Amino acid sequence: MAKTKDLKKGLKEMKEGELVKELALFREKLRVLRFKAEGAKSKNVKEGTTLRKQIARILTEINQNKK
């Protein structure tokens, strides 16, 4: 839980370039997780959900910065 709060706070301080790098990192993690799930059972079933939420937070921050 603390990680999520730190991430939210950190996103507001990041520049757009850093946000884009973080977005690419989380998307890659989600892609890898999906391919791992095809072959075997995932040990952490919530990980996909949390990654998608983090991606959404980053996209929201990027869009708010553009306005």
pLDDT tens track for 19-57:
999 999 999 999 988 888 767 766 777 888 999 999 999
pLDDT of residue 4: 61
Instruction: Give the number of domains in the chain.
Output: 1
Asked whether residue 4 is domain-assigned, the answer is no
Asked whether residue 5 is domain-assigned, the answer is no
CB burial of 2-16 (b: ≥16 within 10 Å; e: otherwise) equals: eeeeeeeeebeebee
CA distance 28 to 1: 22
pLDDT of residue 2: 45
Domain holding 42, by residue range, is 14-66
